[in-house]
Amino acid sequence: MVDVSAKDVTVRTASAAGLVRCSGAVVDALRGDGVPKGDALAVARLAGIQAAKRTPDLVPLAHPVAVHAVEVDAVVVDEGVELTATVRTADRTGVEMEALTCVAVAGLALVDMVKALDREAVITDVRVTAKTGGRSGSWTRG
């Protein structure tokens, strides 16, 4: 693990996004009465928040970071569910991995909720979209 003990405690944020591509039947269910297993979008959001907090447990060389805020959205679109997350901290290193982990695990939870209806659901395009703070400053994906 890279040594971050000499870095400053500053406010840092990172945003990530991804898509769970699923069948029209699932999209219709999510826009209508929901899927039989429960509130898929709520479960995905909570799973993402909890996973953000567990990032250093999942990613072997990630530093423990004091996660100070997590926002997750799960929006039903025609091809599936768009997931976005923003994580914020006042700590010595960035939270890109926390934002990515949030989206990836929200995606896993969502697939679990819909897999009885669509065993072909795909988690795709999980990527960092923006960051602020830290030595390298702000960055937005082109």
- Is position 23 an interface residue for a copy of itself (rule: CB under 8 A)? no
Binding segment for a copy of itself (CB under 8 A), chosen from 27-35, 74-82, 93-101, is 93-101
Count CB neighbours of 3 within 10 A.
Answer: 8
**Catalytic residue at 112?**
yes
Q: Which residue reads 């994906």 in tokens?
A: 141
**Binding positions for a copy of itself, 62-81, rule CB under 8 A:** 62-64, 66-71
> What is d(CA 105, CA 25) in angstroms, rounded to the nearest whole number?
23
User: Can you tell me the distance from the alpha carbon of 69 to that of 102, in angstroms, rounded to the nearest whole number?
Assistant: 12
Question: Closest by alpha carbon to 100, among 13, 18, 4?
Answer: 18
Q: What is the 3-class SS of 43-105, one letter each residue? A: HHHHHHHHHHHCHHHHCCCCCCCCEEEEEEEEEEECCEEEEEEEEEEEECCCCHHHHHHHHHH
Interacting span for a copy of itself (CB under 8 A) from 23-31, 75-83, 87-95: 87-95
Determine which residue in the list 18, 30, 84, 117 makes contact with a copy of itself, applying CB under 8 A.
18
Among 34, 56, 73, 82, binds a copy of itself (CB under 8 A): 56
User: Interface with a copy of itself by CB under 8 A: which range of 24-32, 57-65, 74-82?
Assistant: 57-65
Matching residue, tokens 């890279």 = 2
Q: Which residues form the interface with a copy of itself (CB under 8 A)?
A: 1-6, 11, 18, 37-39, 42-43, 46-47, 49-51, 53-54, 56-64, 66-71, 88-92, 96-97, 100-101, 104-105, 107-109, 111-113, 115, 119-128, 139, 141
